[in-house]
């Protein structure tokens, strides 16, 4: 009788051990074989909640019925209003200044940016001149350190809308995300958003993409 009991206990123990060996611990991350991994989708709108303008999984939504937080002319009502005519873009730094138009920018090297415009619910491809290329022509340091890191700029549209960037944000030597003065989108002129528009690849929403760009003032924070 005792032999039967011990045999049953031994078999039960071996069964539990086998199950435990085949079952991965609950807190151990599951890995996927390299051959099954998906390639990166280059669509910048992929994984975005296009209705809210926020990446999925953040657990928050945006009230699209209000203008709050919509950015430059991006509310539904503002998008219906006619654009305020824009003149040349004037950039100033100290006592130096320069004016730019699509015609004068055309001679400079352009950069292509494909970005996700959550308000248009689509990816868009902009072409334009890196803003830093225009700033260095006025003496803004290309390599920034010390007091130069206190520099910032105020970009203004023809309707008076303004947005602020630190100069470090637009400097590719310090920041990965590109900022350009765009003169075309998807191979065409900017229409109501132009003739020039500021576009920042690193922004999740186009709140600082100043349309009908007419002025950029480089200042120093006190």
160 exposure class (CB count in 10 Å sphere: 0-12, 13-18, 19+): exposed
> Average pLDDT, stretch 65-84?
47
- Of 11 and 160, which is predicted with more confidence? 160
pLDDT at 41 over 60: no
Residues 47 and 55: beta-carbon distance below 8 Å: yes
- Considering only CA atoms, which of 113, 112, 91, 87 is closest in space to residue 101? 87
| Domains observed in the chain | 48-56+63-220 (3.90.420.10)
**What does the pLDDT look like over 152-185, one tens digit per residue?**
999 999 999 999 999 999 999 898 889 999 999 9
Question: Which phi and psi (to 5°) does residue 82 adopt?
Answer: -65, 145
The whole-model pTM stands at: 0.67
**pLDDT for residue 87:** 84
- The pLDDT-based confidence of 138 (bands split at 50, 70, 90) is very high
């Amino acid at each position: 009788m005792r032999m039967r009991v011990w045999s049953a206990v031994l078999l039960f123990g071996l069964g539990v051990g086998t199950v435990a060996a085949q079952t991965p611990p609950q807190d151990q991350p599951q890995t996927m074989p390299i051959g099954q991994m998906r390639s990166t989708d280059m669509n910048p709108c992929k994984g975005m909640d296009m209705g809210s303008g926020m990446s999925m999984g953040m657990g928050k939504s945006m009230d699209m019925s209000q203008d709050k937080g919509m950015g430059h002319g991006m509310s539904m009502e503002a998008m219906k209003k006619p654009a305020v005519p824009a003149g040349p873009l004037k950039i100033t730094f100290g006592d130096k200044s320069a004016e730019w138009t699509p015609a004068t920018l055309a001679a400079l090297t352009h950069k292509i940016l494909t970005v996700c415009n959550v308000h248009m619910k689509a990816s868009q491809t902009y072409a334009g001149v890196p803003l830093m290329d225009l700033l260095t022509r006025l003496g803004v340091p290309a390599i920034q350190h010390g007091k130069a890191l206190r520099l910032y700029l105020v970009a203004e549209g023809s309707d008076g809308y303004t947005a602020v960037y630190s100069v470090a944000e637009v400097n590719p030597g310090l920041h990965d995300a590109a900022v350009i003065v765009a003169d075309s989108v998807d191979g065409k002129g900017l229409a109501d958003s132009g003739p020039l528009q500021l576009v920042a690849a690193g922004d999740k929403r186009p709140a600082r993409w100043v349309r009908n760009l007419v002025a950029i003032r480089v200042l120093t924070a006190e």
